[in-house]
């Protein structure tokens, strides 16, 4: 990039990608209720992710933003939520099944941003009586509309075999391979999509 480009603030996307090579991936907790188990699942994914050293991973807790429902009076949390999403290159959604779909809190949080989601990648880790599969498939439909590319590999956790009494998270060993494969895909696609933003 030449002197004039620097002076006028023109950026070279290829150069930017090479110098800021560490991607930022947010691990989004989809539930907000008191007594929720999503923080345990999110911390477990973050522990696996941090060992890889290939990206900067952070937990993003929807509950921290005190988001209003879409259409209610504006609240500072909406701008903060959009800024947080805009700072990220990709996502891992921690998804729990509520009445065969995602939580209302996650749907509202998805609805409260648009451009900040666009042209990014996401993986899904879900749980429920059938591994949260129905909620995860609903989420995939929503992500398409938000121009988020959801990767194929999808760890599914069972409320019966991966939790004690449905509340203490004790994941089976076999999920580790799937979580790493999902993170491989999220990183590849997040890096690729960064070049078109």
Ligand X SMILES: Cc1cc2nc3c(=O)[nH]c(=O)nc-3n(C[C@H](O)[C@H](O)[C@H](O)COP(=O)(O)O)c2cc1C
- Nearest Cα neighbor of 135 from 121, 146, 124 is 124
- Nearest Cα neighbor of 121 from 81, 93, 82 is 93
Footprint on residues 132-191 left by ligand X (CB under 6 A) = 159
Closer Cβ to ligand X, 169 or 191, answer by number: 169
Q: How far is the CB of 169 from ligand X (least distance, A)?
A: 10
Near ligand X by CB under 6 A: residue from 128, 179, 186, 190: 128
What is the token pair recorded at 161? 């075999």
Asked if residue 97 binds ligand X (CB under 6 A), the reply is: yes
Asked if residue 60 binds ligand X (CB under 6 A), the reply is: no
Asked if residue 99 binds ligand X (CB under 6 A), the reply is: yes
Closer Cβ to ligand X, 32 or 187, answer by number: 32
Asked if residue 37 binds ligand X (CB under 6 A), the reply is: yes
Asked if residue 105 binds ligand X (CB under 6 A), the reply is: no
Helix (H, G, I), strand (E, B) or coil at 95: strand
- Nearest Cα neighbor of 67 from 36, 111, 126, 120 is 111
- Nearest Cα neighbor of 48 from 176, 181, 134 is 176
Asked if residue 38 binds ligand X (CB under 6 A), the reply is: yes
Near ligand X by CB under 6 A: residue from 6, 13, 33, 52: 33
Chain length of the chain: 197
Is residue 21 classed exposed, middle or buried when 0-12, 13-18 and 19+ CB atoms within 10 A define those classes? exposed
Instruction: Name the site residues for ligand X (rule: CB under 6 A).
Output: 31, 33, 36-38, 96-100, 128-130, 159
């Amino acid at each position: 990039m030449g002197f004039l480009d620097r002076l006028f603030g023109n950026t070279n996307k290829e150069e930017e990608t090479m110098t800021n090579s560490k991607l930022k991936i947010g691990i989004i907790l989809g539930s907000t209720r008191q007594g929720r188990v999503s923080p345990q699942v999110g911390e477990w994914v973050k522990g696996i992710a941090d060992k890889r050293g290939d990206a900067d991973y952070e937990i993003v807790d929807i509950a921290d933003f005190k988001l209003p429902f879409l259409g209610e009076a504006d609240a500072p949390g909406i701008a903060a939520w959009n800024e947080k999403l805009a700072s990220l290159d990709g996502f891992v959604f921690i998804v729990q099944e509520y009445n065969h779909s995602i939580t209302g809190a996650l749907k509202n949080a998805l609805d409260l941003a648009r451009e900040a989601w666009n042209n990014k990648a996401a993986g899904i880790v879900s749980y429920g009586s059938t591994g949260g599969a129905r909620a995860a498939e609903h989420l995939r439909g929503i992500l398409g509309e938000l121009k988020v590319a959801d990767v194929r590999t999808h760890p599914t956790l069972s409320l019966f075999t991966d939790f004690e009494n449905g509340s203490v998270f004790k994941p089976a060993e076999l999920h580790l391979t799937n979580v790493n494969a999902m993170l491989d895909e999220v990183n590849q696609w997040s890096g690729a999509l960064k070049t078109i933003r």
